[in-house]
Structure 1
Amino acid sequence: MEKAKKFLKRYKIFLILAALNLVIGLVSPEIGKESLRLTKSNVLEMLSILPPIFVLLGLLDVWVKRETMVKYMGKGSGIVGSFIAFFIGSAAAGPLYAAFPVAGVLLRKGSSVTNVYIMLGAWSTTKIPLLLFEASSMGLKFTAIRLGMSIIGIITIALLMEKLLPQEDKDDMVRRAMEKA
């Protein structure tokens, strides 16, 4: 009985969405078919992206010592840590949902919460291949202005979150990341 409760709690959202898909399929078979097609497409995309990310995370976990991570991306790392976090986010490949396991590994290794926020912000807005595409489509001036505003926004939001988020919430994030190890 305890295993069933744990299973239901862990997969609650998935089960609710599956039930909703079933109801939609019964009410409107055309929309239900399209919903299943999109779900299949999204699952296949995730399965093609996540394994390489997890392999790289495993290598990061094994190759980079905690002391090194604390030195370069920990609380006292300053601008160097922020630059490294920004580079990790900008050089990353894959959609934003792939950034969260990376954030967990960074937290487990001793990265500061602020640098994790910066990495997530950079991952979502400043990917190098997308900047190149944007520059060719929208022009270099537009791309430079948008990138500059994004950098200012990422740093501002990261610093505000560091200041406004209570320490117990930050500690809880790190504790949860440690539990996933």
Structure 2
Amino acid sequence: MKNILKKFKLPIGVAIVFVALFIFAPDAAARSSKVAYEYFLEMVFILPPVFILMGLMEVWLPKDKIKKWLGNDSGLRGGILSLVLGTLPTGPLYVAFPLSASLLHKGASITNVVIFLGAWAALKIPQLMIEVKFMGLNFAIMRFVLTIFALILMGSFMKAVLTRHPDKKWLESNKGLSDQ
């Protein structure tokens, strides 16, 4: 019983908050329930294609190719590829997390995965076009370039932090990041 409570402490905590909200603030509970329901529907429609894409990625992209193109020895080419792959999609960021985990498991470097995630979050091409319209070309280019530098720094920092303790279990399905 203790293990079950420990394993599901977040959902149990959320349920307790919802019950308290329904008791003490029914209007806020109704709004909160509506938002949660809409988010759930969004997840139901977005995540299945993501898992299909991950399955196809497992089959179509061999581990040795991922290591070659995005691994520790990929250098500048891996960083540029991560940046380009991250700027192309227009979906929500949470779609990128399972894809990133798959890339890590296949041998992509931590640096390149962080660059990919950051580019997905901050460097989308449609976003850049809208930014140019409202903020101006100079601002958009400056933000884009500074974001690229920031992503490279973040990727390097994350690699330094996560590989400092290779005995720690950072990912659920591997014993550490010593091979990264």
TM-score (norm 1): 0.87
SS for the counterpart of 2:147 is helix
Q: 1:45 aligns with which of 23, 42, 45?
A: 42
- Other structure's SS at 2:42 match: helix
79, 84, 103: which one aligns with 1:87? 84
Instruction: Pick which of 64-73 and 50-59 moved more.
Output: 50-59
* 2:132 corresponds to 1:135: yes
Gaps of 5+ in 2: 176-180
Q: Is the 1:113–1:170 Cα contact (8 Å) retained in structure 2?
A: no
Q: Select the residue among 151, 154, 157 that pairs with 1:154.
A: 151
Q: Choose from 18, 22, 30 the match for 1:25.
A: 22
Does the 8 Å contact 1:105/1:177 carry over to 2?
Answer: no
- Cα-to-partner distance string for 1:88-133 (whole Å, 9 max, x where unaligned): 2111232222211111100111111111111111111111221122
Q: Flag the 1:64–1:178 CA change in 2: closer, same or farther, 3 A.
A: farther
Aligned partners of 2:173 and 2:122: how far apart in 1? Answer: 24
CA contact (8 A) 2:104 2:113 kept: yes
**CA RMSD between the two structures:** 2.0
Q: 1: distance between equivalents of 2:118 and 2:80?
A: 12
Distance 2:122 2:77 in 1: 20
Are 2:67 and 1:78 equivalent residues in the alignment? no
Q: Distance in 1 between matches of 2:114 and 2:50?
A: 19
Q: Is the aligned partner of 1:176 residue 2:172?
A: yes
In 2 relative to 1, CA 166–71 (structure 1 residues): closer, same or farther, beyond 3 Å?
closer
Change (3 A) 1:171 1:59: farther
* Distance in 1 separating the partners of 2:166 and 2:87: 26
SS for the counterpart of 1:43 is helix
User: In the alignment, residue 5 of structure 1 is paired with which amino acid?
Assistant: N
Q: Is the 8 A contact 1:73 1:82 kept in 2?
A: yes
SS at match of 2:73: coil
Q: How far apart are the structure 1 equivalents of 2:174 and 2:99? A: 13
Partner of 1:98: 95
- 1:170 deviates by 8.5
Of residues 147, 164, 177 in structure 2, which corresponds to 1:167?
164
